[in-house]
Structure 1
């Protein structure tokens, strides 16, 4: 696994960049573009193929679930549907066909709408923008095989991880948006069979849309969170189509005088680690899939709470205080504390430690059905959330790997019960199996605004699990649109 550069390593970033430019004027974008254009299905190890197929099933599932469970996605769906246009690609769940860029915009927003989408073991979300963009282009182009789609997914995931893990991130930019546009557009270019030169140009084009800060996640009161994945997906589709038509990008996108690494990441990046064993080692084989529809950093606390309730005969009313031990990132999920204890929107609820921990303790579980708008008014959940107290502990800081969380219950009779949220389901320590992923997909498909018929659900599951034999991936989408 790549190491997060920090401390003395950040000095090495600048040295790395300067040595590279003295020896070779070729920007990193050209290396990444060559990988994207040259990679073939037969180059992928079985684990990377399996991860790409799981990501396809998972992402299509959470898009369907969001169509029925997240009201915040509806304004965007209405806007895209009203605008109409050439019928190139499908809006999942809601139905209808619109231009490919618009479909990617709608489906990307759905994919991250529940915060139920996959993530890397180091956090951040490639698939919620990557998969909608690729599916929209596959429909637009037609005749895209399962092997071609799987290869493109793997390319996008691999480049996302290598960029995400080897830049100096200070919890400022939204990493999924700041690096996801480049990995996403590279994957889209691979799907369309563009040359490495065209893909490099597409990266330059899409750079004009990169951005978004962590305030959209740290702040409260908005419902913008799912929207960023839609914007990324739309930008990737538009950029790659422009490059295909001859639009030119820029030669020194990443490492130029005002390149991405200097402007976005203070010149802190590790070029060698980004390219180390690229094409022979696939870090994307470790992609993870969520058990619960909430921000990934909350999952260690959700797991700890569920296990506390399972392992101990707890009466909720007997709890005096719930302590959550938090580091730098998780602390933001408890502040401002009063607002976090009573979130006003579903997206705020999913980023609230008091609310998610209380919900897990009260329900003893958490499914797509438990995390609904009705839960925002659940008297027992809100009463327990009001008893949550954060305790800062820097040992729970997020230093690349998502940290374990700890939950401690202080009972009215003086007892104290604590649990560390280690070996969380859906992490590399306890990866989600195909059987569990199929169950998650079934629940999401049932939660869709137009529930998918049972026979179609099983057919989609079977098709995706064996998608490398599929001659046209439109066959899959025809069952769920």
Structure 2
């Protein structure tokens, strides 16, 4: 019987570009635009500059987004993924543990630019990468891979070769061996996401993608891997997953899972989106009276409550933006005071803001059985604000704006993109990028799009 990776390769190879449904092509463009915006938005950060400086040259086939230098395909996958991850504003997929398939987009873009791929081929690559990454998430056992100490970024090791195979022109057998090599060398630990987070968290996904691109190139040049790397005695199943539902990974594609991705409206971890949405909805009732708050009760699904109950000290007094971004109580307090939650809410001055600390100290988190019934398909939250006067205000959000059950419109996604891209490339060029992505299926070569992603003056109105 063929191995798991051999059967997966057959599924990936069985979707020609011309058979990709129009709605999937359109959604691939939306995912692409959101990813580019997040890359540009993160491109000036210190950890991202470190990645650009480590790999950037004046030559190379792939553009470093927001920088202008170039690099090898594998190195561009690393550096641009670091830029995409930095703000933690990227999309994801609802499920039992973090899944951010957009972090394969930098690898796909670098491959497409280097091989002069067209827009429809790029859309197919993105759709297939999302398909495999999400299947890897949904097929994971209970307890899932994160309970075994692994990061969800591990799944990119399987998703990236699946995405770039068509662009690289890999044969079916070459794809099998690319998957085999990447599966062995791709698993990465979840340690970076615990406690006060280190700056290197931003490059976790990029390093997996870099290795996966290298695996695909090795396979194309004749390197062979262990084709039973998934189910073998010392393979992914036993060493990483523990248990895995092969039917989820290997079933026919009857619904492209890219259509189930969510978009972040707020610059915060997934389980904070609903909480922030609720406190923003309540803000008009409490505006100007935050010093009168006696207690904020935040109710979450049990799994999210347990997650936010770990590393309590770090979550209540985060020392850097990554830690704050993953703290629902911090995000809640910052959004309560400012009325929104974007990158500026995570600067050093805000992390030390006594008003935010005061609200955090008055916030308690509790599990809610009714909210738990929606998990893992949703990350609902209920926020109750009690004033010392006795007045109480409550708001519950089940499907946050941007969730596949409550999607944001193209215009809203484009506005998010412009807010991130304009300071880097300027308003005029940001608009041109939007137009190019709208016409993605018509692009005969994506190099022109990549040429727009270097810094501009950023001064246009």
Separation in structure 2 between the aligned mates of residue 151 and residue 465 of structure 1, nearest angstrom: 15
1:152-171 matches, cutoff 5 A: 152-170=125-143, 171=146
- Conservation of the 8 A alpha-carbon contact between 1:298 and 1:356: yes
Q: 1:385 aligns with which of 321, 344, 360?
A: 360
Separation in structure 1 between the aligned mates of residue 447 and residue 40 of structure 2, nearest angstrom: 16
1:76-475 matches, cutoff 5 A: 76-81=51-56, 84=57, 86-122=59-95, 124-141=98-115, 143-170=116-143, 171-172=146-147, 173-266=149-242, 268-278=243-253, 280-310=254-284, 315-326=289-300, 327-393=302-368, 396-397=371-372, 399-447=375-423, 451-475=424-448
TM-score (norm: length of structure 2): 0.91
Larger CA deviation: 163-172 vs 110-119: 163-172
Count of residue pairs brought into register by the alignment: 448
Deviation string 1:73-128 (CA, Å, 9 cap, x unpaired) is 333233223xx485221111122112221111100111111110010132633434
* Deviation of the 1:305 alpha carbon: 1.1
**180 and 285 in structure 1: CA distance in 2 versus 1, 3 angstrom threshold:** same
Separation in structure 1 between the aligned mates of residue 59 and residue 181 of structure 2, nearest angstrom: 23
**474 and 165 in structure 1: CA distance in 2 versus 1, 3 angstrom threshold:** same
Separation in structure 1 between the aligned mates of residue 196 and residue 369 of structure 2, nearest angstrom: 24
TM-score (norm: length of structure 1): 0.88
Q: Report the equivalent of 1:73.
A: 48
Separation in structure 2 between the aligned mates of residue 176 and residue 198 of structure 1, nearest angstrom: 25
Larger CA deviation: 119-128 vs 320-329: 119-128
- Conservation of the 8 A alpha-carbon contact between 2:34 and 2:90: yes
Separation in structure 1 between the aligned mates of residue 23 and residue 76 of structure 2, nearest angstrom: 30
- Conservation of the 8 A alpha-carbon contact between 2:184 and 2:235: no
Deviation string 1:433-470 (CA, Å, 9 cap, x unpaired) is 110111011011134xxx21222111110111111000
- Conservation of the 8 A alpha-carbon contact between 2:102 and 2:130: no
Give the secondary structure class of the aligned counterpart of 1:205. Answer: helix
- Conservation of the 8 A alpha-carbon contact between 1:88 and 1:98: yes
* Deviation of the 1:129 alpha carbon: 2.6
* Deviation of the 1:206 alpha carbon: 0.9
Instruction: Give the root-mean-square deviation of aligned CA atoms.
Output: 2.1
* Structure 1 runs not aligned, ≥5 long: 1-24
Separation in structure 2 between the aligned mates of residue 383 and residue 402 of structure 1, nearest angstrom: 29
* Deviation of the 1:396 alpha carbon: 4.6
* Structure 2 runs not aligned, ≥5 long: 455-461
**421 and 180 in structure 1: CA distance in 2 versus 1, 3 angstrom threshold:** same
**413 and 335 in structure 1: CA distance in 2 versus 1, 3 angstrom threshold:** farther
Separation in structure 2 between the aligned mates of residue 180 and residue 291 of structure 1, nearest angstrom: 24
Give the secondary structure class of the aligned counterpart of 1:478. Answer: helix
Separation in structure 1 between the aligned mates of residue 193 and residue 410 of structure 2, nearest angstrom: 30
Task: With a CA cutoff of 8 Å and minimum separation of 6, indicate the structure with the bigger relative contact order.
Answer: 1
Larger CA deviation: 127-136 vs 350-359: 127-136
Runs of 4+ in 1 over 6 A off after TM superposition: none
- Conservation of the 8 A alpha-carbon contact between 1:145 and 1:473: yes
- Conservation of the 8 A alpha-carbon contact between 1:178 and 1:212: yes
